[in-house]
Every structure is written in structure tokens, then in C-alpha cells.
Amino acid sequence: MQWAALIVTILFLAAGVLGFTPGATSNYMSMRFAGHHSTALLLGLFQVSILHNIVHLLFGIVGALVRRSPAGSFHYLLWGGIVYAVLWIYGLVIGAESAANFVPLNTPDNWLHFGLAIVMISSALVLNRRCFKDR
């Protein structure tokens, strides 16, 4: 469980740092604090903004703080996965050009959020089950 949380933590920290790195983020100079007007693309694919990158860094920091215990890792993976499931649904419902698209989100972001939700929630549930079986 803690290893899964560590991997997710590292991925979020990497996404946050790379989002602020010219080269890893194309159209870097067009990055905005928030909103769909930011045309910066992490790895040329995922629309990012300063707010989006900060959220990734915060998710990584939270993971680093709570992953030291199995219970903390479980809750991080489960609730983080639920947050990303909600974010996926939000991204599907709002229009890409809508003022409500404040994060910002594009189609690759939406499907990445869906994948993160599935991986994080299933990791929490499957690995939690294993932890209790081993006892």
C-alpha cells in the first residue's frame, strides 16, 4: 500500500515540477494562472496552468506526508482517486471553452484523470484487502 502511494506521490510531484519546466511544457510563455486560456501543454498533450501545476504539487506533498502509514496510504489513494473521478466527470460535463473550466482541462487531461481515479481507487481497495488478509 505504501509503495503504491509512493509511486503516485512521485508522479504527482514530477507532473507539478515538469509543468513549470520549459521544454517539458510547450507554449510555456502562454501559461496563465488559471482558466482555459492557458495554452501551455505538459508533454505537448495535457493542458496546464499555474493552478493546475500547484494542485499536482500539493497532491504530491500530501502523499509524501501521509504515505508513512498503511492507513494514511489507503486514504490518500482512495480519496485522491475519488477526487480525480469527480474531476473526470467535471471535465466531461463542462465545455473546454467555458468559464467554469478554471483548472484547465482538455480531453487528454480528462482521460488521464479517469485513469488515475481507476488506478488509485483500485490500488487502495485491492491492497487494503491484501493487508487484512496477511494479518
DSSP conformational letter for 43: T
Q: List, for residues 91-125, the tens digit of each pLDDT value.
A: 888 877 777 778 788 889 999 999 999 999 999 99
Count of CB atoms situated within 10 Å of the CB of 41: 21
Q: What's the pLDDT at 17?
A: 97
Q: Is the pTM of this model over 0.95?
A: no
Of 7, 6, 48, 8, nearest to 24 (Cα)? 48
User: What does the alpha-carbon distance between residue 92 and residue 97 come to, in Å, rounded to a whole number?
Assistant: 12
